[in-house]
Structure 1
Amino acid sequence: MQNLSLLNSIVGPVMRGPSSSHSAGPYHIANTIRQLTAGCGEYIDSVRIGFNPSGSFAAVYSNQGSDEGFAAGFLGIPITDDAYLDALRRFQSGQLYPFTFEVTTLVPNDHPNRVQIDVQVRQTDGNIRSDRFRAVSTGGGMFVIDDLNGHSIEVTGTEHVVLVEGDADAVPDALAREDLNWRTAVRASNRLSQFAFAAELSAEALVSIAGLSGVERVRVTGPSQLCVASTDTLLVSGAALGEPNNLGLAEKALELESIRLGLPRHEVRRLFEERLELMLTSVENGLRAAPSSDRMKFLTPSALRIKNAILPPIIGAGFLQNAMSAALAVMEQDTNRGVVVAAPTAGSAGIVPGVLFALSQVGVAESMLVDSLQVMALVGGAFAARGSFAAETGGCSVETGASAAMAAGGMSHILGAGPQQVFGAASLCLMNTLGLVCDPVGGEVEIPCHARNIAGVSHAYAASIATLAGFDAVLPFDDVVQATVDVGKLMHPDLRCTGRGGCAAFCPAPKGSDASGSKTFVPLTLKSGYKDR
């Protein structure tokens, strides 16, 4: 994940739904395939989306909003548009083309978030064309579409992509004649070539390419988030970032993201300011949400109640009370399909804004909050340089564990910690969540996820205070990240977001039902499923 962007992949994406890998990833996959499959004058006739029975989607695609994400993506509805919430219903009511899901054996079956999408397209001549795409939601809203009709491709939503079917030998010369700055060209096969660009091609350039002899079809898609201008390796390790240098960590984050996005630092700073505003807005929206917006299956809204609770004075926990209520407010927005910022995932989306909100409530200036967010992003980037944020591959350690590490680092920074202490506080959080399972009850990102966001802000606070007071984590951040990755690989699949083990073995009755809660036990027998990459 060395070509990641801090704004796209660490304090992002901006999304709806309770899971970044199961909600945001499907949205971006579908939106990208929609652009790639239906050209000018063509339209989609039907869509069938397949999940492997041993993967994670099969168990949770309805509970965690994958179906809603796919539906909104295929309709091209912006995430911030409230029409997103109505997309799936429009398909289900028969207003649009057939749109179905099925659990079926996929080949290859190499990742728990593997998906196969079959699209029927009505061409301008009236005939139907069948396209088959294979894709993986890789965590944190990131994805890769890696196959089209049996041809290997690599579309990740980080750039403008043109796929040329047929003889593409003359395309580079045509691009040179048009004076176009194309970045990479990949020959997927002798009949399909992929070209990547940092900027959108003009209609004239696309017509020129389509008119070349031997070119049969040109497919185009834009980036799903902020366009990546440089794919150079920028983030190497926490150790390198923690070394004393002329740039502070907040400035280092701006420098690296400026290179990645090809934007001046002041523009990147503005984007971080906007991201902070979105986070704090999600807190405020969650705290004042109307009861009628509640879609939670098991939990009742608790954020405002915790914020306003009168606790024993001896506790003296005003900061933590604000942080916990803010974290819950975001998670309740998350579950209720409000707009949130995954930081770095939807399942851990409350921790970073929870800490930032609590800091704002004790008078920390907005400029310092933005600095803190930039450092949080940098810590998350150092994690992602070695690991993945997909709980399907690493358990909750890579979600609430990574998010708590980010929050601890950012909080430590604005309290005066140096770079080594920042990564020391982050290391503490990872140590204490090593091997934490991902086990959502009933496939819903409620139990134990909301509780773990409460624990995450508390954990970040404790790690920051302990580090500033002189406690030494001893183990380097990068080593603990590697341990997190290694332990994740050793975890049984039933403990990695498949809804089969841990807390997920419990089956409480939904709130408001007359049935009493019950408990079942799911034996952790070895299953023949996907193979880890």
Structure 2
Amino acid sequence: MIKQSVSIFNDVIGPVMRGPSSSHVAAAARIGILARQMVKGNLKKVIVEFDPKGSLATTYHGHGSDMGLVGGLLGFETQDSRLPKWESISKEKGLNIEFNIVDYKAAHPNTYKMMLISDKDEKVNVVAISTGGGMIKYESIENFNVSICGDFYETLVFVENKEDVKKLIDYIERKNIKIDYFEKSKNGNNILLDIKTSYKLEKDIINSIEKQYNVITIEPVLPIKSRKECKVPFNTADSMFEVSKKSNLKLWELALLYESIRGNISKEEVYNKMKEIVLLMKSSIEEGLKGTKYENRILGSQSHMIEKSEKEGKLIKSDVLNSMIECITSMMEVKSSMGVIVAAPTAGSCGGLPGTIIGATKALGLTIDDATKAMLAAGIVGVFIAEHATFAAEVGGCQVECGAGSCMAAAGLVELNGGTVKQGIDASSMALQNVMGMVCDPVADRVEVPCLGKNIMAGSNALACANMALAGFDKVVPLDETIKAMYSVGHMLPSELRCTGCGGLSLTETSKRIYKEIN
């Protein structure tokens, strides 16, 4: 299996999206967008199966997996304003979607097993998973093992024997087609060839192959494409620190170095892309502070109460913390009202990191460029979590979502205050140590309570740990070891406490009552 290095913009800061959950809505939309490309006709029916022991069987509607998947099948991107109207639009388009709970012993809690049926009587069976934070992987197409993550152009060629394989290889060499990877998978006597490229193959080449074989072409869905033999400068906090000592680069500059190499783009492009994201985050927060309206949700608009109460002298004086609480709450309200947000690192934790950095920037009178550098610093710390753990609460509990966001925000706050690389790493480790074992137990199958409080906790924890690191406190356990421990703890948590709605606050009488009221 090909494993590409983590990208800040693929795996950590993003996607730009609507909806309550990146693992559910954004990932499902990307799974749907890729699935739509696997038939040449128009999709007329899709049968979706979820395993009863996974997380999707109980949460796919409340967390928006159905909205994201059908939206993707209709061709909607993750931030498309039409996503909330998926049911009516799919009916208008004549697309019949069937969701079933079937015990097929899925290995991953976020598994989508689907049959795609087109108006040309094409039938394609696929298995895909949501791996966390909007990232995905197709594991099976027509019972052939595959590894498709949406970061390459894929040309899938179905052949019948080894002679066909040889003919195709000869054709590729004769045409001097530059490929990144060439993967083979067997199903009985039949063979699937997956030609992975970082560019789109010319139409005449595809047409020539299609004359002899059944071919599926898939275009990527991730913002940063992958390529062969991409070697990043570091992939752990320790190795990054060694680079920093030799280069004298700051934490945000190390992020520029890493992502420019990973994405094969200039450092200026990396910086400008992050600045655009920060401006979008700021815009979302400002929109939320104006007040949001939405149906079928638990919490109303509350973010404006902080400034009002502060002016009235009702709050404990803490300009930075109160500004962070206001911004975190605002971002969460925009998320719940189907507004545009950035999953950073996930949609369920979309308030903690952005609200902390932008709230602190606002309170301290700093600039968008300061916030951009802080977000880059946070992003590079997130790379280590994505590389060596996960952002999926279904796998590791809320410690890998709000906890990870707190870890990243601590590094961002240290950068915002002019701290060193070591202080940023140490603050991150302390913040992550403080949330070890945090469970994911949303009330009434909505990503609102206790999610809002956990996002605010993420910010306050980040602030405390940033100050501790800046003061010279000893983190004791290095960040790399803390990430490893967190991942291990996540696997020890029972499935009931990992975003299934089957434990914790999810099972309280209040949660059950609210669920009945809003469903």
> What interval of TM-score do these two structures reach, taking the shorter chain for normalisation?
over 0.9
Structure 1 contact 50–103 (Cα < 8 Å) conserved: yes
Structure 2 contact 30–78 (Cα < 8 Å) conserved: no
Amino acid aligned to 1:150: N
Amino acid aligned to 1:162: T
Secondary structure of the corresponding residue to residue 111 of structure 1: coil
Which residue number corresponds to residue 194 of structure 1?
A: 194
Query: Could you tell me how far apart the structure 2 residues matched to 1:248 and 1:175 are?
Result: 45
Which residue number corresponds to residue 228 of structure 1?
A: 226
Query: Could you tell me how far apart the structure 1 residues matched to 2:73 and 2:222 are?
Result: 13
**Aligned ranges 1:117-516 → 2 under 5 Å:** 117-123=114-120, 128-166=121-159, 167-189=164-186, 190-211=190-211, 213=212, 215-229=213-227, 232=230, 234=232, 235-243=234-242, 244-246=245-247, 247-290=249-292, 293-295=293-295, 297-310=297-310, 312=313, 315-361=316-362, 362-508=364-510
TM-aligned CA deviation for residue 2 of structure 1: 5.7
Structure 1 contact 11–343 (Cα < 8 Å) conserved: yes
Query: Could you tell me how far apart the structure 2 residues matched to 1:514 and 1:506 are?
Result: 13
TM-aligned CA deviation for residue 296 of structure 1: 5.2
Change (3 A) 1:304 1:202: farther
Query: Could you tell me how far apart the structure 2 residues matched to 1:262 and 1:76 are?
Result: 28
Which residue number corresponds to residue 25 of structure 1?
A: 27
Further displaced range: 399-408 or 187-196: 187-196
Give the TM-score normalised by the residue count of structure 1: 0.90
TM-aligned CA deviation for residue 169 of structure 1: 3.0
Identity %: 30
Change (3 A) 1:241 1:150: same
Query: Could you tell me how far apart the structure 1 residues matched to 2:353 and 2:49 are?
Result: 34
Change (3 A) 1:203 1:455: same
TM-aligned CA deviation for residue 503 of structure 1: 1.2
Query: Could you tell me how far apart the structure 2 residues matched to 1:255 and 1:470 are?
Result: 27
Query: Could you tell me how far apart the structure 2 residues matched to 1:430 and 1:236 are?
Result: 18
Structure 2 contact 297–336 (Cα < 8 Å) conserved: no
Change (3 A) 1:74 1:183: same
Query: Could you tell me how far apart the structure 2 residues matched to 1:297 and 1:314 are?
Result: 27
Give the TM-score normalised by the residue count of structure 2: 0.92
TM-aligned CA deviation for residue 478 of structure 1: 0.7
Secondary structure of the corresponding residue to residue 191 of structure 1: strand
Query: Could you tell me how far apart the structure 1 residues matched to 2:153 and 2:88 are?
Result: 31
Query: Could you tell me how far apart the structure 2 residues matched to 1:75 and 1:313 are?
Result: 49
Query: Could you tell me how far apart the structure 1 residues matched to 2:169 and 2:365 are?
Result: 56
Gaps of 5+ in 1: 516-533
What is the count of residue pairs matched by the alignment?
503
Structure 1 contact 2–233 (Cα < 8 Å) conserved: no
Further displaced range: 156-165 or 359-368: 359-368
Query: Could you tell me how far apart the structure 2 residues matched to 1:327 and 1:494 are?
Result: 27
TM-aligned CA deviation for residue 26 of structure 1: 0.6
Query: Could you tell me how far apart the structure 1 residues matched to 2:229 and 2:447 are?
Result: 33
Amino acid aligned to 1:306: I
Secondary structure of the corresponding residue to residue 144 of structure 1: strand
Query: Could you tell me how far apart the structure 1 residues matched to 2:271 and 2:101 are?
Result: 44
Gaps of 5+ in 2: none
Amino acid aligned to 1:63: G
Structure 1 contact 210–218 (Cα < 8 Å) conserved: no
Amino acid aligned to 2:101: V
Q: Structure 1, residues 52-80: CA drift from partner, whole Å, max 9, x if none?
A: 11110111111111111011100111233
Question: Which of residues 99, 102, 123 in structure 2 aligns to 1:101?
Answer: 99
TM-aligned CA deviation for residue 100 of structure 1: 1.5
TM-aligned CA deviation for residue 514 of structure 1: 11
Q: Structure 1, residues 111-131: CA drift from partner, whole Å, max 9, x if none?
A: 1111101111233xxxx1221
Query: Could you tell me how far apart the structure 1 residues matched to 2:24 and 2:350 are?
Result: 14
TM-aligned CA deviation for residue 258 of structure 1: 1.2
TM-aligned CA deviation for residue 357 of structure 1: 1.5
TM-aligned CA deviation for residue 342 of structure 1: 0.7
Query: Could you tell me how far apart the structure 1 residues matched to 2:264 and 2:202 are?
Result: 20
Secondary structure of the corresponding residue to residue 380 of structure 1: helix
Amino acid aligned to 2:300: T
Query: Could you tell me how far apart the structure 1 residues matched to 2:309 and 2:295 are?
Result: 23
Secondary structure of the corresponding residue to residue 397 of structure 2: helix
TM-aligned CA deviation for residue 265 of structure 1: 1.6
Query: Could you tell me how far apart the structure 2 residues matched to 1:402 and 1:261 are?
Result: 23
Structure 1 contact 3–231 (Cα < 8 Å) conserved: no
